[in-house]
Amino acid sequence: MVYSTPTELLPAAFPASLSPLREIPQPPKSLWVEGAVPADDLILLTVVGSRNYSTYGKQVIDYLISGLSGYPIGIVSGLALGVDGLAHEAALAAGLYTMAVPGSGLHNNVMYPARHRTLARKIVASGGGLLSEYPPDMGAAQWTFPQRNRIMAGLARATLLIEASEKSGTLITARMAVDYNRDLLVVPGNIFSNNSHGVHQFLKLGATPVTSPEDLLYALGFTPEERPTTLRLDLTPTEMKVLELLSEPRDRDELIRLLGLPTSEATTLLMMMEIAGHITCNIHMYRSLR
Q: Are residues 58 and 139 in the same domain?
A: yes
In a domain, 84, yes or no: yes
3-state secondary structure of 201: helix
Instruction: Give the model's confidence band at 225: pLDDT under 50 very low, under 70 low, under 90 confident, else very high.
Output: low
How much of the chain is in helix, strand and coil states, percent to nearest 5?
Answer: 40, 20, 40
Instruction: Give the model's confidence band at 79: pLDDT under 50 very low, under 70 low, under 90 confident, else very high.
Output: very high
pTM over the 0.85 mark: no
What was the pLDDT predicted at 229? 41
Q: Are residues 208 and 245 in the same domain?
A: no
Query: For all residues of the chain together, what is the average pLDDT?
Result: 89
Q: Are residues 244 and 178 in the same domain?
A: no
Instruction: Tell me the C-alpha distance between 4 and 285, whole Å.
Output: 39
Q: Are residues 130 and 79 in the same domain?
A: yes
Report CA 131 to chain centroid distance, whole Å: 17
DSSP 272-288: HHHHTTSEEEETTEEEE
What was the pLDDT predicted at 284? 67
Among 219, 250, 271, where does a domain finish? Answer: 219
3-state secondary structure 55-94: HHHHHHHHHHHHCCCCCCEEEEECCCCCHHHHHHHHHHHC
In a domain, 226, yes or no: no
- pLDDT for 113 beyond 50: yes
- Residue percentage of the chain with pLDDT more than 90: 54
- pLDDT for 219 beyond 90: yes
Q: Are residues 74 and 125 in the same domain?
A: yes
CATH of the domain at 264: 1.10.10
Q: Please give the helix or strand (H or E) that residue 48 lies within, else none.
A: strand 43-49
Among 219, 249, 272, where does a domain finish? Answer: 219
Instruction: Tell me the C-alpha distance between 48 and 83, whole Å.
Output: 6
Instruction: Tell me the C-alpha distance between 211 and 118, whole Å.
Output: 31
Q: Are residues 43 and 149 in the same domain?
A: yes
What's the pLDDT tens digit per position in 160-202? Answer: 999 888 777 788 888 889 899 999 999 998 888 888 888 898 8
Main-chain phi, psi angles of 229, to 5 degrees: -90, -10
- pLDDT for 131 beyond 60: yes
In a domain, 232, yes or no: no
User: Mean pLDDT throughout 222-242?
Assistant: 68
Q: Are residues 167 and 213 in the same domain?
A: yes
What was the pLDDT predicted at 258? 92
Q: Are residues 44 and 169 in the same domain?
A: yes
In a domain, 227, yes or no: no
In a domain, 8, yes or no: yes
- pLDDT for 73 beyond 90: yes
- pLDDT for 226 beyond 60: no
- pLDDT for 253 beyond 80: yes
What was the pLDDT predicted at 289? 67
Q: Are residues 49 and 129 in the same domain?
A: yes
In a domain, 230, yes or no: no
CATH of the domain at 11: 3.40.50.450
What's the pLDDT tens digit per position in 37-67? Answer: 999 999 999 999 988 888 888 989 999 998 8
What was the pLDDT predicted at 285? 76
- pLDDT for 86 beyond 80: yes
Structural domains in the chain (count): 2
Q: Are residues 164 and 23 in the same domain?
A: yes
What was the pLDDT predicted at 195? 84
What was the pLDDT predicted at 243? 87
In a domain, 259, yes or no: yes
Instruction: Give the model's confidence band at 227: pLDDT under 50 very low, under 70 low, under 90 confident, else very high.
Output: very low
Among residues 187, 172, 96, 129, the alpha carbon closest in space to that of 4 is found at: 129
- pLDDT for 228 beyond 80: no
Question: Is the Cβ–Cβ distance between 98 and 39 less than 8 Å?
Answer: no
Question: Is the Cβ–Cβ distance between 51 and 57 less than 8 Å?
Answer: no
What per-residue string of b and e applies to 64-74 under the rule 16 or more CB within 10 Å gives b?
A: bbbbbeebebb
What was the pLDDT predicted at 136? 96
Q: Are residues 133 and 22 in the same domain?
A: yes
Among 219, 251, 267, where does a domain finish? Answer: 219
For residue 236, with 0-12 CB atoms within 10 Å meaning exposed, 13-18 middle and 19 or more buried, which class applies? exposed
In a domain, 228, yes or no: no
Domain that holds residue 251: 237-288
The DSSP code for 18 is: G
Question: Is the Cβ–Cβ distance between 74 and 97 less than 8 Å?
Answer: yes
Instruction: Give the model's confidence band at 230: pLDDT under 50 very low, under 70 low, under 90 confident, else very high.
Output: very low
Q: Are residues 246 and 210 in the same domain?
A: no
3-state secondary structure of 8: strand
Give the range with max mean pLDDT: 101-110, 205-214, 238-247, 255-264: 101-110
